[in-house]
Amino acid sequence: MHSSKSVAEPVRDEIRRIDDVISVGEDLDFQRRWWRFEKLAWLILVIVLAADALGAFGRGWLAGAERHSADGSLDVRYERVERAGTPSVMTVEFAPSAIEGRTMRLFSSLNIVNELGAQRIIPQPETSAIGPRDITYEFAGTGSPAVASIQLQPSFPGIHHIELQVPGKPAIRADILVLP
Amino acid sequence: MATLLHAILGYFVLLLTIRLLTRRPGSQLTLFEFVLIFLMGGIIIASTMGNDRSVTNATCAVVMVALLHRATSYTRNRWPSMGRLIDGVPLVIYETGKWREEVLREMRIAPEDVLAAARTKGYRGLDEIDYAILERNGQISVLSKQKT
pLDDT tens, position by position, B120-134: 889 988 889 999 999
For residues B99 and B106, what is the distance between their CA atoms, to the nearest angstrom?
A: 13
The pTM assigned to this predicted structure is: 0.74
> Which runs of E-coded beta strand occur in chain A?
17-18, 21-22, 64-68, 74-79, 81-83, 88-94, 99-100, 103-109, 120-122, 127-130, 134-140, 146-152, 158-165, 172-179
**Mean pLDDT for the stretch of residues B66-71:** 94
**Cβ-based contacts of A34 with chain B (< 8 Å):** 88
CB B108 within 8 A of CB B21: no
**Cβ-based contacts of A48 with chain B (< 8 Å):** none
Q: Does B80 contact chain A (CB < 8 Å)?
A: no
DSSP state of A62: G
Of B16, B22, B89, the CB nearest to A27: B89
CB-based burial of residue A109 (10 Å sphere; 0-12 exposed, 13-18 middle, 19+ buried)?
Answer: buried
Say yes or no: ipTM exceeds 0.85: no
Question: Which residues in chain A show pLDDT less than 50?
Answer: 1-5, 10-13
Residue type, B148: T
CA angle A74, A122, A151 (to 5 degrees): 85
Q: Give the up-direction half-sphere exposure of residue A137: CA atoms within 13 A in the CB hemisphere.
A: 23
Residue A1 has what pLDDT?
Answer: 42
pLDDT band at B69 (very low <50, low <70, confident <90, very high): very high
| Higher local confidence (pLDDT), A2 or B70 | B70
Q: What residue in B sits closest to A84 (Cα-Cα)?
A: B50
Residue B125 has what pLDDT?
Answer: 87
Q: Per-residue pLDDT for B148 more than 50? A: no
Residue A11 has what pLDDT?
Answer: 47
B23 CB-near residues (< 8 Å, 6+ apart): B88, B107, B134, B136, B137, B138
pLDDT band at B72 (very low <50, low <70, confident <90, very high): very high
